[in-house]
Amino acid sequence: MDRIRVLVADGHRVFAESLATALTAEQGVEAVAVVSAAAAVRELERGGTGGVLFDVLLMDPGLDEGGGDGAESAGPPDRRQPLLAAVNDRFPEVRAVMLATRDDPRLAARAFDAGAHGWVAKDSSLSRLLQVVRGVLRGETHVPPLLLTGVLRELSRARRHRTEHQRLMESLTPRELEVLRCMLAGLGRKAVAERLYLSPHTVRTHMQNVLSKLGVHSTLAAVAMARRAGVPPME
């Protein structure tokens, strides 16, 4: 295999830079450190533009849990795409491995459901970390044995919830679904009205109907449920 290029993304600068330095000291490995989700995306974009692509992203799950700025730092919070989702959407050739301080089945399940290829403890030895990196590049998925049962249980539970959310989405009328998809795209009520050639009052009525049918009390909750159900945002 050619030289492996690794991007380390962690909110703790000293840890990220130390790990990148240790990895680069290994034969056949080159690593770069960043300290935020937005910086990681910029680095991935820069690599793609320069023709020198990264192979693996080692990231702290906290960057997708509020521990760093969003992958799209500009704009309102509901338009920011989590780093892991951004990687899978825009850089599918990059294998994401979560560098975790603790084993959390729920957090790990969300990561694997979002496209992660591995989960490894931050205090793992460098040789173990390199084993995981090389493994995911061979198409393997790495889950610590003691975490596996909990991850499978959480994935099964999430699948049941997703099915229920999808059923609720099917109760919406085509127009209500259009309004919700516009909200998923980050449009406010006025912008939705202009996009769909409706009055703001009509948009408000549709959103009230959406909230009632989905059994939630806010637009943010409806948008979150739609995302979990796999509803795509309006183009």
Which CATH number is 186's domain given?
1.10.10.10
pLDDT in tens, 162-198: 667 677 788 899 999 999 999 999 899 999 999 999 9
Q: Are residues 148 and 183 in the same domain?
A: no
Per residue in 103-121, is it b (16+ CB within 10 Å) or e — as a string? Answer: ebbebbbbbbbeebbbbbb
Q: Are residues 176 and 210 in the same domain?
A: yes
Q: Determine, yes or no, domain membership for 163.
A: no
Q: Are residues 98 and 200 in the same domain?
A: no
Q: Are residues 139 and 181 in the same domain?
A: no
Q: Determine, yes or no, domain membership for 160.
A: no
Q: Determine, yes or no, domain membership for 185.
A: yes
Three-class secondary structure of residue 53 per DSSP: coil
- In the structure encoding, which two tokens stand for residue 63, read together? 């960057």
CATH number of the domain enclosing 99: 3.40.50.2300
Q: Are residues 195 and 110 in the same domain?
A: no
Could you tell me the residue range of the domain that residue 198 belongs to? 171-228
**Interhelix angle 200-214/145-169, nearest 10 degrees:** 130
Give me the sign of the Cα torsion angle 35, 37, 42, 46. Answer: positive
Q: What total number of domains does the chain contain?
A: 2
Q: Are residues 13 and 64 in the same domain?
A: yes
- In the structure encoding, which two tokens stand for residue 155, read together? 């994935």
Tens-digit pLDDT profile for the chain (235 aa)? Answer: 578 999 999 999 999 999 999 999 999 999 999 999 999 999 999 887 767 789 999 999 988 764 444 444 333 333 346 888 889 888 999 999 999 998 888 888 888 878 899 999 999 999 999 999 999 999 999 988 878 777 778 777 766 666 676 777 888 999 999 999 999 998 999 999 999 999 999 999 999 999 999 999 999 899 988 888 888 898 8
Q: Are residues 148 and 210 in the same domain?
A: no
User: Which residue pairs from 86-89 have beta carbons closer than 8 angstroms and sit at least 24 positions apart in sequence?
Assistant: 86/37, 86/41, 87/44, 87/57, 87/115, 88/114, 88/115
Q: Are residues 122 and 175 in the same domain?
A: no
- Report pTM: 0.63
